Structures are given as C-alpha cells and as structure tokens.
Structure 1
Amino acid sequence: MAKKKTAPKVFEYVEPIGDRVLVRKDEPKRETRGGIALPDAAEIPTITGRIVTISAVVENDEELPLRQYDKILFHPKNAIPVDLEHDNQLFVVPVDDIVAVFRREAPEE
C-alpha cells in the first residue's frame, strides 16, 4: 500500500520591525455598561487589543513598559492591518500610537 504524501504545514509568523508591536484587536462593544445600544456607525478613535508579538527593538528598550500579552489602548490611525487570520483582526501598531497599558496593580518601585 502506497503512503499518501501530505503537503508540509506552512506556519506564518509576523515579526514587527522597529518601534512596532503586533496587536489582536478586541471585539468592538455593541452596548454600554448601562445597556445603551451603540449604532454600527459609532466609531471610537481609540481601540483596545492584546499584544501578540513585540519587535526586538521594543523588547530591548527598558523605557517602554510593553510586554507580550499586555492589554493596550491604541489609536488606529497608523495601524497596519495584517491579513493572516481570516477571523481575527491583527494590526502592526507603532509604539507612538499606544496610548495606555492596562495593569492589574501598580508597578513596584
């Protein structure tokens, strides 16, 4: 019996270059905490997401408090969409467009 040859699996990996991070955008909220439904046309200029990958430049910069899996608030103006996963929204985001990092507790000094 002849063995069936399968095509080798190809994994794609996106590594941001320079002062950039790869972010998976959070799903947009359709209603407020108070239960008010937001129309689809309502666009908020800053959005949240999780850092998937950081560039070597960001990783080695002690001045930047960004780490993989951090939840961030970013401005999407200069974010570049990455069409790698059809059901997820990935963006390469410049560090300058990151407005805030969400933390559970204050950093120790």
Structure 2
Amino acid sequence: MAKKKKSADFEQVEPIGHRVLVRKDEPKRETRGGIALPDAAEIPTITGRIVTISAAVENDEELPLRQYDKILFHPKNAIPVDLEHDNQLFVVPVDDVVAVFRRSKSSSDD
C-alpha cells in the first residue's frame, strides 16, 4: 500500500470573502521602446491572472471578475501564498483590483 504525500493535502487554495487568487506576472525589465528599467523603478500596481475566485465573488453580479481574467491590482493588501517555489501566488481583496483587461470585439464579430 502506497502512502500519500502530506504536501499533497494543500495543493488547492480557495479564497474566502471578496478575494481572488492571482498568479502575478513577471515584472517588466524594459519598456516597449526598449528602455531598461532599474529594479528600484518598480511600479506599485502589478498585473496577474486570476487562478481562483471565491464563492462570494462568483455569486456577486456587480463584480466583473472571472477565473483566468488578466487584472491590474495594487499589491499593498495582497497576501503571498507559499505553495510554489517562485511564490507568484497572492490572495488579493477585490477592492485592490483596479482594472480587468478585456479584448475589444471587432465589428466582424457581429
């Protein structure tokens, strides 16, 4: 009989309340024009993808957030989740989500 690994017990994180679980994008080291940015020039708002949303967010029709949305968020109240070696997961309150990136629909979609 094979034993289960203890670390496998916590492979899923479900945010509670009005929060989402976000995988933070890698910080940009240069602008689109090719200008290198020093590490000290970190912008306090960062982007990421929503991995999981809480039941409260999913059931709130006023919140336009869905799983896999790319978002812009302020990291001040983001809580790091230590599940991965690179620690790119954060639980973020929806109040700190400042924008959702959406693709524009072209007129050929009509």
CA-to-partner distance for each residue in 1:33-59, whole Å, 9 max, x for gaps?
111000011110100000000000000
- What runs of 5+ residues in structure 2 fail to find an aligned partner? 106-110
Provide the TM-score with structure 2 as the length reference: 0.87
More helix as a share of residues: 2
Question: Could you say which residue in structure 1 is the equivalent of 2:3?
Answer: 7
Question: Could you say which residue in structure 2 is the equivalent of 1:79?
Answer: 78
Name the % identity. 88
Distance 2:64 2:87 in 1: 25
Distance 1:80 1:89 in 2: 11
Structure 2 residue 92 is the aligned partner of structure 1 residue 93: yes
Q: Using the TM superposition, give the Cα deviation of residue 102 of structure 1 relative to its aligned residue in structure 2, in angstroms.
A: 0.2
Distance 2:52 2:36 in 1: 33
Moved more, 54-63 or 87-96: 87-96
Which SS does the other structure have where 1:64 is aligned? coil
Q: After the TM superposition, which segments of 4 or more aligned residues of structure 1 sit over 3 Å from their partners?
A: none
Taking only aligned residues, the RMSD between alpha carbons, in angstroms, comes to 1.3
Question: Could you say which residue in structure 2 is the equivalent of 1:40?
Answer: 39
Moved more, 46-55 or 88-97: 88-97
Distance 1:96 1:31 in 2: 28
- What runs of 5+ residues in structure 1 fail to find an aligned partner? none
Distance 1:47 1:79 in 2: 11
Provide the TM-score with structure 1 as the length reference: 0.88
Question: Could you say which residue in structure 1 is the equivalent of 2:102?
Answer: 103
Which SS does the other structure have where 1:58 is aligned? helix
Moved more, 34-43 or 62-71: 34-43
Which SS does the other structure have where 1:105 is aligned? coil
